[in-house]
Structure 1
Amino acid sequence: MTRRSNRAEVRNPILALPAARLLQAMPADTRTLLAVLLADFAADARRRSRSSWDSRKAFVAAYWATVAVYAGHIARILYRGGRRSATRKPFLVTQKGYPDLVAADWVEASRLYCERRDQLGLGASLYPEALILVGGTPVGRISYNGRIWMPGPWEACDEPLFDNRRADVG
């Protein structure tokens, strides 16, 4: 058996590209935001790959698996020092009149918001929506029902970024 190299550019070939240095030189808040979004993108692509494989759609599964690998490689470049541990809980859930909450992902942000809502027993008219920030940038807002939407006012045609009613959540 041949041992795999421990060199960073072998384990993550994206590091060998000149643009990787530019990604690493971006401001920390921007890197964090992009890293979180790309990690989320990679997780979604892995789910699509598994679903396609289960449906015997091998070429589509291979496509989504490749997307997941590249998104993950780029996300790891963006995390400080190449490790995710520095931003393990990058989501900041802010709510007027309440202490901020920190979460690792959409699922945890929704869950923490709903737990606080249930503990307080306030109705929709008294319990405020929350804003989700990553690296100081608004990336979503949580409505009373725990669903996460794009930041800004809700419109009838909007689809949630995260829907806590889905069976595959968590």
Structure 2
Amino acid sequence: MTPRSKRAEVRNPVLGLPAARLLQTMPADTRALIALLLTDLASDARRRSRASWDSRKAFVAAYWATVAVYAGHVARVLRGNGRKSAERKPFRISHKGYPDLMATDWADASHQYCERRDQLGLGASMFPEAMIQIAGMPVGRISYNGRIWMPGPWQPGDEPLFDNRRAETD
């Protein structure tokens, strides 16, 4: 018999919920996309929790820590293996006229796009935007400056999904 602390449903209580079984029946590509986005959400929530704790906002820190834990639990249910692969590159950067690039996350996608732009030296007016896809689904658009936006045309007031200027200062 497996010790209690090693049983999957003890380590991840979400596995004990009926909806968890339904999540596992979704198509693999859909599960991969949602798992990746939940992992990203968990990472952002952990950052907010640390910032709130540093600001002595304990209740807000606890809230964001809880969001991070449950987002991570659901992501693991969707992945089905309990662990994420460190070498996996789920982001496909599709760039018209250039071979696709693979990236591990938003920062890596922005970095690879900017690196290609700088190597070619075409400048902003000549260098096309790129699309980011996960499991064949468009999830972002990289503009000439390396910022990542929601797919579709830019609208006034839009905020980037990933801002490489902020990433450089973190």
When residues 169 and 150 of structure 1 are mapped into structure 2, their CA distance, relative to the original with a 3 A threshold, is: farther
Structural RMSD (CA): 1.7
Structure 1 position 152 matched with structure 2 position 165: no
Distance 1:108 1:136, change over 3 A: same
Paired residue secondary structure (2:125): coil
Give the Cα–Cα distance (whole angstroms) in 1 for the partners of residues 98 and 167 of structure 2.
Answer: 29
Tell whether 2:132 aligns with 1:132: yes
Following TM superposition, the consecutive aligned residue runs of length 4 or more in structure 1 with deviations greater than 3 angstroms are: 167-170
* 2:54 match: 54
* TM-score, normalising length: structure 2: 0.93
Amino acid of the residue matched to residue 165 of structure 2? R
Alignment: residue pair count: 168
Q: Distance in 1 between matches of 2:157 and 2:129?
A: 19
SS of residue in 1 equivalent to 2:146: coil
Instruction: State the 1:57 CA deviation.
Output: 0.5
Aligned to 1:81: 81
- The structural deviation recorded for 1:83 is 2.8
Return the offset for 1:124.
1.5
Distance 1:80 1:100 in 2: 28
- Aligned partner of 1:36 in structure 2 is 36
Once the two structures are TM-superposed, the CA of residue 88 in structure 1 deviates from its matched residue by: 2.0
Counterpart of 1:8? 8
User: Tell me, which stretches of 5 or more residues in structure 1 are unaligned?
Assistant: none
Percent sequence identity over matched residues? 75
Shift of 1:87: 7.7
**Equivalent residue for 2:99?**
99
The C-alpha deviation readout for 1:50-78, integer Å capped at 9, x for no partner, is: 00000000011001000000000001111
Structure 1 CA distance, aligned partners of 2:82 and 2:117? 36
Amino acid at match of 1:20: A
